[in-house]
Amino acid sequence: MKSLWIASVSLALFVSSCQCSDDQSGTAPFIPVEQAASEGALIADASQGALASALMKQINKDGFEGAVTFCHENALPLTDSLELIYNADIRRTSFRFRNAGNEPDSLDVVVLSEFERIHELDSVPQPKVVETTSGTLRYYSPIFVAPVCLNCHGMPGEDLTADLHALILEEYPQDEAVGFEVGDVRGSWVIEFAEAFNSNR
């Protein structure tokens, strides 16, 4: 199943900018910044493709109600399985998160704020590599709201039906991930290379 997920996504690589944190330990990164950018793009694309493919299959099978339950039960295990393949920490984060496990840390807040500031200027935020205070590298890839996303993340009572919103709140009582519009920055993929990287390709 994991091989099908990986095969379903684009393997196009792109290079991001690098911004190091102000407070650094002086520890050299485990891999070069350029490699973190290219491999981070690969992993983020694979992760997004795997999740989107699985969700679309569930939507076609059980509607958006089934997708909500599927995401609640399988989104984190799915990224965990990809971590084993790529030997990197993989997660999503957002200011308006649905799963408490996706709450941003202090570095995430800095990058998400930058992505949103760029978006508010009618520009498109680009992926970037950031060095942490411990010397690891994180690849951040912004997630944008597509039209289909509004069914579960749009404005309650408009794009998001009352019944589906009620189901979401049942699964995620503290949910904040609603009220988005198409093109908004939904959040970011975060790929962290905590040790020597091996793509197993």
Averaged pLDDT score across all residues of the chain: 85
Query: Which pTM value belongs to this model?
Result: 0.81
Residue with tokens 């089934």: 66
Interatomic CA distance for residues 87 and 194, integer angstroms: 8
pLDDT in tens, 112-135: 999 999 999 999 999 999 999 988
Whether the per-residue pLDDT at 10 is higher than 50: the answer is no
Helix (H) or strand (E) holding 190: strand 185-193
Interatomic CA distance for residues 193 and 29, integer angstroms: 9
Kindly state the average pLDDT of the residues 77-88. Answer: 90
Q: Work out whether the CA dihedral 101, 112, 69, 86 comes out positive or negative.
A: negative
Judged on CB neighbours under 10 Å (0-12, 13-18, 19+), 197 is buried
Interatomic CA distance for residues 88 and 90, integer angstroms: 6
Where do the domains of the chain lie?
Answer: 17-193
Helix (H) or strand (E) holding 38: helix 33-86
